[in-house]
Structure 1
Amino acid sequence: MKIAFYGSSLLSSYWNGAATYYRGILHAMAKRGHEITFYEPDAFDRQQHRDIDPPEWCRSVVYAATEDALVGVLAEAGAADIVVKANGVGVFDRELLEGILHHAAPDALKIYWDVDAAATLDEMRGAPDHPVRAALPHLDLVFTYGGGPPVIAAYEGFGAKQCVPIYNALDPATHYPVPPDPRFGCDLGFLANRLPDREARVEEFFLKAAALLPDRQFMIGGNGWHDKGMPANVRAIGHVGTGSHNAFNCTPRTVLNVARDSMADIGFSPATRVFEAAGAAACLITDAWEGIEQFLQPDSEVLVARDGQDVADHLAALTQDRAHAIGQAALTRVLSEHTYDRRAVEVDRVLDGLRQREPVA
């Protein structure tokens, strides 16, 4: 089927953590025969920080962040069998959502794909006129990349016809073990952009652990940390392009995942970083959240921490042999159960069911 997908960016991960997810799931869907066009605005300097060239498996359309260009790309929605609006494009989000409903063909499936469902739902609770709330009666489906039963119940409570989580996963063609890179040498590495709804948890799980272990070396990658006060044993290295993620994950003794506040609260929301790290056979320490066992088994495939003291205790007790064993077990698990090819099968199963329904008016 022809899919028109309006998202933040496929080509750049710069201030755009969803890039890896888009690439993984859409590439897997393309391999299953879908013809995909991804529309992204030229905004936030993302096009100056591309990680990849336009891929062969997807038509890439980069449009100017202007009203005239918006009209042009929305007009193309009418030729698609499936029209998707992702959240968090960053410019013209309301207009894009309203536009796909207006321009999509009468028999096309209209989908909202939420890669930050907990935050979106919080916004909707506080805003009766939220554009997603207004659009739900006219959408066939909401996909999310996490959230489990709490997010499904919340979206359906707001009137979604159907809400289906399609979780982050591993693309083994892009994330895999590589030799260590001295640039990323440390005892614990952490990769994430600085965001208001994660900063307090980063202070607890990462910076507190660093302060507790002054003889260990810590490294933080991602945008926004340059002016954050940190212990002397922490090195901030700025944006790390996706092409360096494998080396980043393979070099430190351990790597850390810290969920954003909303995702930690609802659980069932493994970040892309979880699968990238596991795919590189890294020993991962993650903050505790409900549902982790659905993806990786604590103590044998991942180490789980309740606070910064737990992170420090894990790191202090961890031998190189045990770190290696945990990383290898995580790699085996995600390759067998959590690849984007498997997620694409789930997507097609849902889409096949929807195609048998009458179009939503």
Structure 2
Amino acid sequence: MKVVVVGLSITSSWGNGHATTYRALLRELARRGHDIVFLERDVPWYAANRDLPEPPYCRTILYQNLDELFLRHAPRIREADCVIVGSYVPEGIAVGEWVTANAGGVTAFYDIDTPVTLSRLRRGKCAYLSRELIPRYHLYLSFTGGPTLGALERDYGAPRARALYCSVDPELHYPIPRPHRWDLGYLGTYSDDRQPTLERLLVRPALLWGEGRFVVAGSQYPEQIPWPANTGRIEHLAPESHREFYTAQRFTLNVTRRDMIAAGYSPSVRLFEAAACGVPLVSDRWPGLEEFFTPGVEILVAENEKDVLCYLRELPESERLGVARRARERALAFHSAARRAQELEEYLNEC
């Protein structure tokens, strides 16, 4: 197929999780024989932080504004077998209206932020998708599964809503035998709604266990946050550095955003990445978690700092390694980028 993707970014992973998702998925689609063009709005904050300016598996074209997009790329849209528009695309409503009016093949909206999108739609404050636009896409690809898929079809008029969860790239994420620098680490961009959970499940354990070693990696954290003395900070990690970061931890922490908890069935890509690296996961609790990893067997669930400290200080080493091994097996079997590419093909064939 000829596939055109209009997405937030594939060239820069700075401050977003979209780039790594697109990179792994499109690489696997290309391996399956598809011809792919990625159209990305050229914005200053990504221009200053391009860690993959020219992906080798697709043609990436930067555009400056809507006029340029509409005038230069209309033929591509008409001739493509499939056009996918991603969430958070600048002026995404106008982009979506143009795509659905002019595309000659299947049109799909790829929502990498489904719970956030639906929350904004309910408040009438979504800049990249409207209620009126949803029925015009042939396919709604959602990072969130479970009951949300039925709601998208029933309440929003999506002709087909299908889960296309985040995934892991096994070529980038795999175990590395090495000494551990940290007992517990966390990787994620700052958000107001995640911070209280991060305080509860990492900062408080660090304060209570002075001998422990902790680390938080991610951009946009306010400078005034008082991190404990035994908690390191890394401002930004490029995707190719994630493996080294995870494998330097005895355990890694997953924290879920409020909207994702409310919707359920919204796994973070960090879950699959860390699992593929063979690092045991400690996570907050959210509906649908057991669909991806079995609590107590493949993942450790923590409600408070006492749970976290119990895992860090009391879990036998054999069980720590067992949790990590079982999670890795599950992630590679069901949540690889190759699996997602196959699922996407199946959805497009439905259309």
Please state which band the TM-score falls in when normalised by the shorter chain: over 0.9
Unpaired runs of 5+ residues, structure 2, are none
Contact 2:206 2:231 in 1 (8 A): yes
Which residue in the other structure is 1:167 paired with?
165
Which residue in the other structure is 1:205 paired with?
201
Residue 344 of structure 2: which of 339, 344, 347 is its match?
Answer: 347
Residue 256 of structure 1: which of 235, 253, 256 is its match?
Answer: 253
| 1:100 partner letter | V
- How far off its partner does 1:80 sit? 1.1
- How far off its partner does 1:14 sit? 0.2
User: What TM-score results when the alignment is normalised by the length of structure 1?
Assistant: 0.90
- How far off its partner does 1:186 sit? 1.1
- How far off its partner does 1:141 sit? 0.9
> Pairwise CA RMSD of aligned residues?
2.0
Alignment of 1:196 onto 2:195? no
- How far off its partner does 1:103 sit? 2.8
Which secondary structure state, in structure 2, belongs to the residue aligned with residue 248 of structure 1? helix
| 1:232 partner letter | A
Q: Which runs of 4+ in 1 moved over 3 A?
A: 128-131, 179-182
Map of 1:1-361 to 2, 5 A cutoff? 1-64=1-64, 66-72=65-71, 74-75=73-74, 76-89=76-89, 91-105=90-104, 108-127=105-124, 131-146=129-144, 148-156=145-153, 157-180=155-178, 185-225=181-221, 227=223, 228-354=225-351
User: CA distance change for structure 1 residues 129 and 21 in 2, over 3 Å: closer, same or farther?
Assistant: closer
Q: Distance in 2 between matches of 1:213 and 1:18?
A: 35
Q: Distance in 1 between matches of 2:95 and 2:274?
A: 33
Contact 2:12 2:53 in 1 (8 A): no
- How far off its partner does 1:350 sit? 1.4
Contact 2:23 2:55 in 1 (8 A): no
Q: Distance in 2 between matches of 1:96 and 1:199?
A: 33
- How far off its partner does 1:73 sit? 5.2
* Percent of aligned pairs sharing the same letter: 33
Which secondary structure state, in structure 2, belongs to the residue aligned with residue 49 of structure 1? coil
Q: Deviations over 1:21-57 (max 9, x none)?
A: 1122222222222211111122242233223242222
Q: Distance in 1 between matches of 2:116 and 2:340?
A: 23
User: CA distance change for structure 1 residues 320 and 294 in 2, over 3 Å: closer, same or farther?
Assistant: same
Q: Distance in 1 between matches of 2:84 and 2:312?
A: 42
Contact 1:179 1:251 in 2 (8 A): no
Unpaired runs of 5+ residues, structure 1, are 355-361
- How far off its partner does 1:340 sit? 1.8
Q: Distance in 2 between matches of 1:256 and 1:128?
A: 31
- How far off its partner does 1:192 sit? 0.3
Contact 1:121 1:154 in 2 (8 A): no
- The number of equivalent residue pairs is 347
